[in-house]
């Protein structure tokens, strides 16, 4: 509802008008303006029939810094859900560029009302509020500013209004320059605003500019724009011991600099509109749920995608690929997916095969062999289509007029094939053509997914180019990324040389540098200037649509460039990282940020893309990478081979870490399901589970898988121990369940971590489903289940809970109710001397048809031992069930609160069970029988 402190409102509308303020002669000066703009005043507002608010703003005083001000703006405010508020500001007189509504579906704002209220002048002095269920929008009329407040706790989440004691820059709205600032409390912790490599960790660092403009400059560039653009941040605050989170999205695809100064945040955007979305939270998980409900839920991943992947740029022929697969098997290291970079292509051209190095009959025989084992095969495709009159993909593209234009002709660029044209994925004809090419290629080679790279878009040249006469391009000698086209610089339009220069590539290079010229034109006259950062996103959407039409299977796409909503269609890897200890650390922060961005299936090239990693680094990297949601080793053409079996020591670390990953696949797949239905990240910062524990707010060297599994890796050279933070509670080592950390108030612990050891701990109150592992996920998935149940160590009262999602992972949809899925909730309690563990099952048929069983239950943290005669299964003594064994063992706690720093509890293991996963069961005993 809408309310005012100074005006009575009609049911239908509110008219707010302000007397014009005469321009003071003293404000006219030859000096440069102190501010870029003097802001706007609200001159009219009315309530829409569906409960929204439309207002009109008039510029207070014009100036020409960065171009002339747009004189009138339309304001639209609406509570779209109980916890989502939209604030949309655009030119009141003409349509401006926005992220296409068909690409990112959302409600359209009202049509522009170009004359409303401009002639009425009713002075008022006080501000007004527009209230929804969870968020309150309030505004100050002159100069116009607004604030967003959460109703439940009164926290002001966003505030653009200035006052004399705490000035902010006023709202600026020009054709190619938009600026707005918000005030922030100094103790707010901010996360997001990517993609970039953040050397200070996951928290945004004051005084670093965050530039958003999709760019291929490699992940080694710190605090610079990278492959993706995600203009969203999460704000976490601790107020009086309570934690409150919210998120702010500026849905704008134009280049922008965001300046965070600790107590303020300023957006400087070179086009488009202000289209803000506020998500009320107040928990971190609630924020990503609300955010992904709007931008699109993360794509469901097939089960095999959670296995281990191997790739290299430089598998020169098929025999090398075959040898890699056999070598992994011989080394007993798990491997699910083998990849090809562009080595399989004929002359680096998309959707082709090299007839000499990858002859189709031999490749098909190889794929038939690995497919029969459950392994998969994925290849790369780039957006650049080679300009070659004998190339069918190019011929059909020209015939269908699918390419981005410059001065009426396809825009010429250079990538790996040499001269290329770029498909325009905003054009419906291009989407159809692209789908047809994928279908043709799949008939040629039955790949199991596609890897779309270089889609920022990357170009080895800059400016307007032509193919040089009498010269081969590329020459065939030297690096393929040296521009060999005949190019000239383009600065003749305001799009190529905008008045405000964003900090592109961290160097303020021209925004058309080594990409598509900003004055190039897409479908319906859309400028590359506006659409640049959604190029990779639009390609992901088109690729996903194409793959959905193949074989009726769940698509798998890996994309380098991403935008808001990309997670609905694709996974992401963090690009061309370096094989350094620093990059190993950075990989954690980037992974955690993408979980917030709604792209939970993310990982970095294990051991680094280039140059050659050391043996020790590769050991430590697989111990981290084995727990990335997307786990892949990938190396550069010019680097030495770095498959995990190349060093005996790395192979040992891989067997250990990946062996645990493959046991955890049921848990990871369930997290994949949770991500798909609620947006919950697979890999999470610790503050997601411990939001009131401020010590973990900036922690970037550890992470959680789901809510309860803590990974504490070694990230420094020469270290054989790691300092790890343990939030309050009991933490059980997953590799040695007799070892426990008891952390009453939260503390750092120095953990032993020799070369082949990674520390993984499971939190109390958890039930973790696991299987026995294997070398391929298909085989691992057939093994019996075990349940690990954790209670607070030595306590007489406690509860634990876990869940398990199972389905036919080849189906396009991931959901219950289709007859091809099962969902199980596991519960456990300890009360006094009694322990009870039971399950509840939804859609049991799928699990029963697959005859999955729980073979073992391990309970950690108990106060007393148990005798086998006390254990009952579904109310009957377990001693009467053949093969069931019960054992107990002492658990040692590292516990500073106890004399000597140690205490003990009991681990009880019941094995030899045959409990059907698809049938509810109850396991219970009384511990009082044996002390």
Give the DSSP per-residue string, 715-757.
-STT-SEEEEEE-SEEEEESSSTTEEEEESS-EEEEEE--TT-
| pLDDT band, residue 34 (cuts 50/70/90) | very low
Which residue in 289, 576, 643, 843 is the catalytic one? 576
Distance between CA atoms of 860 and 871, rounded to whole angstroms?
16
Which residue in 142, 275, 453, 872 is the catalytic one? 453
Comparison of pLDDT for 402 and 9, the residue scoring more:
402
| pLDDT band, residue 168 (cuts 50/70/90) | confident
Domain 303-672 fold: TIM Barrel (3.20.20)
Distance between CA atoms of 456 and 559, rounded to whole angstroms?
10
pTM (two decimals): 0.94
| Least confident range of 201-210, 225-234, 774-783, 917-926 | 201-210
Q: pLDDT tens digits for 189-203?
A: 999 999 999 889 999
| Least confident range of 378-382, 503-507, 518-522, 653-657 | 503-507
Q: What is the pLDDT of residue 287?
A: 98
Average pLDDT over residues 752-771: 98
CATH code linked to domain 685-929: 2.60.40.1180
- Minimal CA–CA distance to 212: which of 597, 680, 482? 597
Comparison of pLDDT for 8 and 828, the residue scoring more:
828
Give the CATH number of domain 2-25+32-282; options: 2.60.40.1760, 2.60.40.1180, 2.30.30.190, 2.60.120.260.
Answer: 2.60.40.1760
Which residue in 336, 448, 456, 872 is the catalytic one? 456
Q: pLDDT tens digits for 35-82?
A: 687 899 999 999 888 889 999 999 999 999 999 999 999 999 999 999
Q: What is the pLDDT of residue 11?
A: 22
> How many CB atoms lie under 10 A from the CB of residue 872?
18
| pLDDT band, residue 478 (cuts 50/70/90) | low
Joined together, the tokens standing for residue 503 give 């900090």
Distance of CA 895 to the CA centre of its chain: 36
Percent of residues, the chain, with pLDDT higher than 90? 82
Give every strand in the sheet of 264-269, ordered side by side.
172-173, 178-183, 264-269, 256-260, 209-212
Comparison of pLDDT for 616 and 503, the residue scoring more:
616
Distance between CA atoms of 416 and 474, rounded to whole angstroms?
9
**Residue 769: is its pLDDT beyond 80?**
yes
Q: What is the pLDDT of residue 723?
A: 97
| pLDDT band, residue 879 (cuts 50/70/90) | confident
Q: What is the pLDDT of residue 12?
A: 24
Q: 303-672 and 685-929: same fold? A: no
Q: pLDDT tens digits for 541-572?
A: 999 999 998 888 999 999 999 999 999 999 99
Is residue 93 annotated as a catalytic residue, yes or no?
Answer: no
Is residue 922 annotated as a catalytic residue, yes or no?
Answer: no
| pLDDT band, residue 666 (cuts 50/70/90) | very high
Is residue 456 annotated as a catalytic residue, yes or no?
Answer: yes
**Residue 229: is its pLDDT beyond 90?**
yes
Average pLDDT over residues 768-781: 98
Q: Where are the domains of the chain?
A: 2-25+32-282, 303-672, 685-929
Q: pLDDT tens digits for 98-145?
A: 999 999 999 999 988 644 444 333 333 456 788 888 999 999 999 999
**Residue 4: is its pLDDT beyond 70?**
no
Distance between CA atoms of 148 and 136, rounded to whole angstroms?
6
Distance between CA atoms of 78 and 96, rounded to whole angstroms?
20
| pLDDT band, residue 367 (cuts 50/70/90) | very high
């Amino acid at each position: 509802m809408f309310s005012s402190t100074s005006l009575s409102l009609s049911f239908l509308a509110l008219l707010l008008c302000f007397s014009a303020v005469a321009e003071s002669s003293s404000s006219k000066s030859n000096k440069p303006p102190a501010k870029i703009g003097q802001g706007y005043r609200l001159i009219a507002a009315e309530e829409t029939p569906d409960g929204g608010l439309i207002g009109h703003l008039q510029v207070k005083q014009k100036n020409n810094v960065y171009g002339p001000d747009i004189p009138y703006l339309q304001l639209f405010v609406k509570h779209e859900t109980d916890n989502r508020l939209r604030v949309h500001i655009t030119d009141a007189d003409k349509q401006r560029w926005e992220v296409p509504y068909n690409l990112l579906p959302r409600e359209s704002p009202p049509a522009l009302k170009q004359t409303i209220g401009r002639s009425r002048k009713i002075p008022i002095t006080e501000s007004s509020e527009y209230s929804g269920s969870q968020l309150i929008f309030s505004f100050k009329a002159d100069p116009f500013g607004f604030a967003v407040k959460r109703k439940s706790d009164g926290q002001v989440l966003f505030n653009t209004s200035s006052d004399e004691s705490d000035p902010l820059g006023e709202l600026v709205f020009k054709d190619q320059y938009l600026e707005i600032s918000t005030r922030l409390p100094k103790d707010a912790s901010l996360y997001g605003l990517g993609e970039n490599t953040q050397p200070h960790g996951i928290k945004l660092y004051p005084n670093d500019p965050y530039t958003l403009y999709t760019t291929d400059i490699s992940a080694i560039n710190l605090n610079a724009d990278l492959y993706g653009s995600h203009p969203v941040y999460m704000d976490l605050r601790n107020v009086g011991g309570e934690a409150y989170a919210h998120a702010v999205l500026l849905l704008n695809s134009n280049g922008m600099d965001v300046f965070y100064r600790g107590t303020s945040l300023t957006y400087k955007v070179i086009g488009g509109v202000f289209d803000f979305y506020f998500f009320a939270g107040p928990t971190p998980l609630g924020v990503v749920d609300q955010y992904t409900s709007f931008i699109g839920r993360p794509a469901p991943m097939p089960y095999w995608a959670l296995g281990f992947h191997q790739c290299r740029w430089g598998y020169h022929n098929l025999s090398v690929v075959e040898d890699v697969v056999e070598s992994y098997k011989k080394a007993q290291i798990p491997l699910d997916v083998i990849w090809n970079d562009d080595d399989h292509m004929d002359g680096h051209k998309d959707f082709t095969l090299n007839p000499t190095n990858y002859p189709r009959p031999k490749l098909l025989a190889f794929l038939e062999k690995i497919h029969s084992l459950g392994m998969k095969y994925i290849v790369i495709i780039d957006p650049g289509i080679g300009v070659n009159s004998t190339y069918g993909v190019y011929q059909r593209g020209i015939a269908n007029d699918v390419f981005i234009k410059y001065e009426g002709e396809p825009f010429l660029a250079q990538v790996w094939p040499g001269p290329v044209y770029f498909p325009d994925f905003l054009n419906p004809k291009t989407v159809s053509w692209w789908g047809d090419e994928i279908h043709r290629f799949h008939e040629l080679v039955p790949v199991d997914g596609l890897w779309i790279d270089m889609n920022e878009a990357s170009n080895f040249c800059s400016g307007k180019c032509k193919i040089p006469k009498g010269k081969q391009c590329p020459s065939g000698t030297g690096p393929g990324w040296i521009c060999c086209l005949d190019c000239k610089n383009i600065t003749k339009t305001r799009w190529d040389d905008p008045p405000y220069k964003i900090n592109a590539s961290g160097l303020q290079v021209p925004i058309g540098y080594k990409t598509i010229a900003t004055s190039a034109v897409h479908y319906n006259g859309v400028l590359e200037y506006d659409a640049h950062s959604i190029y990779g996103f639009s390609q992901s959407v088109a690729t996903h649509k194409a793959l959905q039409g193949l074989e009726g299977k769940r698509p798998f796409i890996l994309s380098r460039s991403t935008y808001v909503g990309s997670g609905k269609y694709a996974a992401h890897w963090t690009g061309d990282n370096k094989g350094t200890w620093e990059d190993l650390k950075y990989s954690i922060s980037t992974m955690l940020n993408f979980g917030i961005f709604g792209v939970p299936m993310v990982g970095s090239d294990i051991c680094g893309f280039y140059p050659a990693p050391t043996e020790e680094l590769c050991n430590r990297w697989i111990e981290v990478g084995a727990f990335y949601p997307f786990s892949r080793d990938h190396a550069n053409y010019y680097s030495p081979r770095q498959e995990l079996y190349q060093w005996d020591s790395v192979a040992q670390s891989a067997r250990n870490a990946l062996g645990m990953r493959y046991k955890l696949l049921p848990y990871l797949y369930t997290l994949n399901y949770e991500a798909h239905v609620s947006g919950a990240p697979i890999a999470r910062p610790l503050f997601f589970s411990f939001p009131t524990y401020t010590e973990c707010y900036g922690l970037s060297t550890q992470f959680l898988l789901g809510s309860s599994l803590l990974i504490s890796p070694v990230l420094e050279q020469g270290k054989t121990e790691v300092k790890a933070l343990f939030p309050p509670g009991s933490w059980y080592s997953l590799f040695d369940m007799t070892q426990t950390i008891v952390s009453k108030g939260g503390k750092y612990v120095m953990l032993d971590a020799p070369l082949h050891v990674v520390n993984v701990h499971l939190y109390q109150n958890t039930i973790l489903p696991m299987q026995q592992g294997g070398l391929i996920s298909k085989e691992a998935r057939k093994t019996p289940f075990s349940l690990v149940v954790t209670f607070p160590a030595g306590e007489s009262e406690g509860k634990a809970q876990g869940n398990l999602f199972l389905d036919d992972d080849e189906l396009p949809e991931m959901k219950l109710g289709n007859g091809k899925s099962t969902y199980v909730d596991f519960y456990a309690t300890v009360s006094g001397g009694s322990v009870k563990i039971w399950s509840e099952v939804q859609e049991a048929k799928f699990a029963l048809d697959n005859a999955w069983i729980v073979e073992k239950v391990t309970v950690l943290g108990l106060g007393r031992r148990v005798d086998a005669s006390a254990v009952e299964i579904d109310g009957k003594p377990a001693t009467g069930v053949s093969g069931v064994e019960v054992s107990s063992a002492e658990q040692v706690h590292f516990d500073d609160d106890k004399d000597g720093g140690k205490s003990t509890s009991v681990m009880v293991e019941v094995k030899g069970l045959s409990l059907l996963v698809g049938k509810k069961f109850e396991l219970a005993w009384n511990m009082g029988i044996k002390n």
